[in-house]
Structure 1
Amino acid sequence: MMTTDATTAATSPLVLVVDDETAIRRFLRTGLEMHGFRVVEAETARQAGELAVMRQPDLVVLDLGLPDADGATVIEALRGWSQAPIIVLSVRKSEAEKVRLLEGGADDYIVKPFGMAELLARARVVLRRAVRQETADPIVRVGGFSIDLARRLVSRDGSAVILSPKQFALLRALAIHHGSVMTHRQLMRELWPQEPDEDVQYLRILMKKLRNRIEPDPARPIYVVTELAVGYRLRTQEQLDAAGYAAAMH
């Protein structure tokens, strides 16, 4: 009979770490395993593809600078058959690069150097979202704010918030990707599928109207935050607390 510890280990999330630097892989393995994750490692794009097929990881942590291929190629290959969340690690800080990777299928992006606490927080966000999508949990809550996607109801501090259809569509898109960045282009395609290249200024105007409805102080938003030159993120409770709003929201 399997022991409780063995059962827990077998059901812990499996992370595929892809990085050609041994020291980085060791750092990631140690930190992830200390916090209850299982880890398998790859140092090339080819190994990453093989392990992804054989082990079916729950999360992929991917460095872009691989010896046999760019990490973007790995993302494209994985997205051809897998919906496992992908967190990209890179020394590249270009906003255009972040947009390219997020639109190519990455779920989040961390610039090196980074701390283990940051990676763990991002990992929990994308894994929770994956579980929520599988279980079709229709309610997203953060602070005093909640969104019932199934019934199309929004409330703040117990009071109903009335949104226009377009405002709700914008909030819904962010809620589905709760905690992760959605780029301007991704949101434009979601909101204006017939005209996805519409002027992004329309999106900014819509966001301003949405914040006027849902934010305690629209001039200093805490729920839907701007990722400069990239897009927007609906914060999770963990992200809200980390930003220093715990006392104000509880």
Structure 2
Amino acid sequence: MRVLLVEDERLIADAIKAFLERHEFIVDWVDDGLLAEDALRTGEFDLVILDLGLPGQDGLEFLRAVRDDKADVPILILSARETTKNRIDGLNLGADDYLTKPFDMEELLARCRALVRRSVGRTRMLLQHGALTLDLDQKKACYNGAEVVLQPLAFRLLTILLERRGRVVSKSDLMEKLYGWEENAESNVLEVYVSQIRRKTTSKLIRTIRGVGYIVDEDIPA
């Protein structure tokens, strides 16, 4: 799951980024409302964590602009503005949740997971496709009832493809989802992970669309 963190206090941003990344989130950080708007227009994110007191563009103005663009990405406001009016304004402008500073990291994690589940229509962090089941909380995969051990990034890759089953996902989109704005990934890393998944499940699970990307078909392969 890829998160856009919009927070101008470096210490808070570093702490949130480190904590969420320990729980398998990919976190891209910006410290300015205008930069956040550009990032959201050019990238695909599963969640935005938004501070309100930002340089460049206030958090509420960013929120208004995002919703005016009809973007439906879940947005969690994380702010020291704790009055009822601030919460009402944020929620009325289209925020999905509001957490005040100081906050508990475990609560932040739980709220992030709940918003992502809700956005994809799940009540549990569980994905199932034929004989394959992914438990997104426990980071476990099972195929034909037996546990399948995957490297963390292979598990993330399979999650992305299952969530978009029936759609071709380009290699560039997958790389961005797996690594965010980092640029240190090997060029053949997707092929390595896809090969691992096929070897441990079935070769028919993921189809390669040559020159484009990969797809998990809606129909379960025989």
Q: TM-score range by the shorter chain?
A: 0.5 to 0.7
Aligned length: 123
Aligned partner letter, 2:66? L
Shift of 1:81: 2.8
Q: Distance in 2 between matches of 1:68 and 1:53?
A: 17
Whichever structure has more helix as a proportion of its residues is 1
Kindly indicate whether residue 39 of structure 2 is the aligned counterpart of residue 51 of structure 1.
yes
Q: AA paired with 2:116? A: L
Aligned residue identity for 1:22: R
**Displacement, 1:96?**
1.6
Q: Any unmatched runs of 5+ in structure 1?
A: 1-12, 142-250
1:62 aligns with 2:58: no
Helix, strand or coil at the partner of 2:53: coil
**Deviations along 1:158-213, whole A, 9 cap, x unmatched?**
xxxxxxxxxxxxxxxxxxxxxxxxxxxxxxxxxxxxxxxxxxxxxxxxxxxxxxxx
Query: Are 2:116 and 1:127 aligned?
Result: yes
Q: Distance in 2 between matches of 1:24 and 1:39?
A: 13
Q: CA RMSD in A?
A: 1.4
Secondary structure, in 3 states, of the residue corresponding to 2:27? Answer: strand
1:85 equivalent in alignment to 2:74: yes
Counterparts of residues 205-224 of structure 1 (less than 5 Å): none
Q: Does 1:73 align with 2:52?
A: no
TM-score calculated relative to the size of structure 2: 0.53
The higher-RCO structure (CA 8 Å, 6+ apart) is 2
The amino acid of 1:71's aligned partner reads: G
Moved >3 Å (runs of 4+): none
Aligned-partner Cα distance in 1 for 2:37–2:70: 11
Partner of 1:188: none
Give the superposition deviation at 1:82: 1.1
Which residue of structure 2 lines up, in the alignment, with residue 41 of structure 1? 29
Residue type of the alignment partner of 2:87 = K
SS across alignment from 1:16: strand
SS of 1:87's equivalent in the other structure is strand
Q: Secondary structure at the match of 2:49?
A: strand
**CA distance in 2: counterparts of 1:75 and 1:36, whole angstroms:** 26
Partner-residue secondary structure (3-state), 2:57: coil
TM-score computed with the length of structure 1 as normaliser: 0.48
Give the alignment partner of residue 17 of structure 2, picking from 25, 29, 35. 29
